[in-house]
Copies of this chain bind each other. A is one copy, B any other.
Amino acid sequence: MKTDTERPGEFELIARYFAPIAGAGGLGLLDDAGLIRPARGYEIVVTADALVAGVHFFPDDPPASIARKALAVNLSDLAAKGAKPDGFVLSLVLPRGWTEDWLGGFAQGLKHIADEGGCPLIGGDTVSTPGPLTLSITAFGSVPAGRMVVRSGAKPGDILLVSGSIGDGALGLKVHGPDRPDWVAALTEADRAHLADRYLHPRPRLALAAALQAHASSAMDVSDGLIGDLAKLLSASRIGAEVDLDAVPLSGPARAAIMADPALLELAWTGGDDYEILCTAPGRDYPSLVAAGEAAGVPLAVIGRITADAGTVRYLQQGQPREFARRSFTHF
């Protein structure tokens, strides 16, 4: 069921575009497999994310941006688990009509983020599809044995924190997408550029990984919206929370968008594509965590505290209780 064409074969394609991104464990990408060589006393954290054109990104997004995002969302998971990246494998499922130009841009973006994250390519597979471009990345990172930061470690009394700013990704999707809503016109060019960039180029918070490992009782990355992802963390830890929505950090451009259309505040809290870190820390630990975030240039904001009330989240907005009907995007 496979067909030949005149374009470069898989072998040539690997040598030209992917070998320059490979680390030692990739064995030149000439073998059936790559190698991870764990340091003694360390465990390997494994995470996987798949992205589909038209679902997770726009088919005509710049190929370098698509590649960066595909690896960044995996690095974001490693960061949340307190892991130091070791490498990744890429399954590249190419639609008919791919060009070498496109692939060159893709490889360039992939190399950029792989270098930035210290996460070389160690293997993968390239196949063709009659459907849309699909990328599946599995990334590996190291933690000292028993020290992965899990979702399920939050305890009543712990402080709830979130990194960076929330909502930029979901707002950026509106700015970047083909059907721009009216409020986009009210933003400055710089604000539009900031939001679109946050959507296109998530910044994995690897700078927080060591501090999370040292101080956090639980953590996850925020990819499907703060409100929905918080529910997952609480469910895994079998606890509840009180959340001060006014304390959820918003960027200047996000505030400007919300000024133009106040309904966007809910989108900021529930929309996806933040790739920030949601975490908890015991009262005695959280100041060290906040200090480490400041030192790393990634601020952590206190947005609430954990309660023993399993499954119950009390959201307060300007002192009043607030409910959410739709908590986050689901994939089905």
Within 8 A of B (CB), among A99-120: none
Interface of A is mostly: mixed
Q: Which of A36-44, A184-192, A239-247, A284-292 contacts B (4 or more CB under 8 A)?
A: A36-44
Tell me, rounded to whole Å, the shortest Cβ–Cβ distance linking A96 to chain B: 10
Q: Do the beta carbons of A131 and B128 come within 8 Å of each other?
A: no
Tell me, rounded to whole Å, the shortest Cβ–Cβ distance linking A149 to chain B: 9
Q: Do the beta carbons of B77 and A33 come within 8 Å of each other?
A: yes
Query: Interface size bucket, A side?
Result: 35 or more
Cα-based distance from A56 to B2 in the complex (angstroms): 8
Contact digits for A27-50, partner B, Cβ 8 Å, 1 yes 0 no: 100111111111010011111111
- By beta carbon, the residue of chain B nearest A220 is B32
Q: Do the beta carbons of B48 and A91 come within 8 Å of each other?
A: yes
Contact partner of A36 (CB less than 8 A), chosen from B32, B43, B236, is B43
List of B residues within 8 angstroms of A92 by Cβ: 50
Copies in the complex: 2
List of B residues within 8 angstroms of A1 by Cβ: 54-56, 58, 173, 177
Tell me if A60 counts as interface (CB < 8 A to partner B): no
Q: Which of A4-12, A203-211, A251-259, A297-305 contacts B (4 or more CB under 8 A)?
A: A4-12
Q: Do the beta carbons of B33 and A38 come within 8 Å of each other?
A: no
B-binding residues in A (CB < 8 A): 1-2, 4-5, 7-11, 13, 25, 27, 30-38, 40, 43-52, 54-56, 58, 77-78, 80-81, 83, 89-94, 122-132, 134, 136, 138, 140, 145, 148, 150-152, 173, 177, 220-221, 232, 236, 272, 326, 329-332
A37-B145, A125-B136 known, 19 other contacts, Cβ within 8 Å: A2-B330, A4-B330, A9-B332, A10-B330, A10-B331, A31-B220, A32-B80, A32-B220, A33-B46, A36-B36, A37-B44, A48-B123, A48-B138, A55-B128, A89-B138, A91-B91, A94-B332, A128-B332, A131-B132
Could you pull out 7 A-B pairs where Cβ atoms are within 8 angstroms? A31-B150, A36-B43, A37-B43, A48-B90, A50-B127, A91-B91, A91-B138
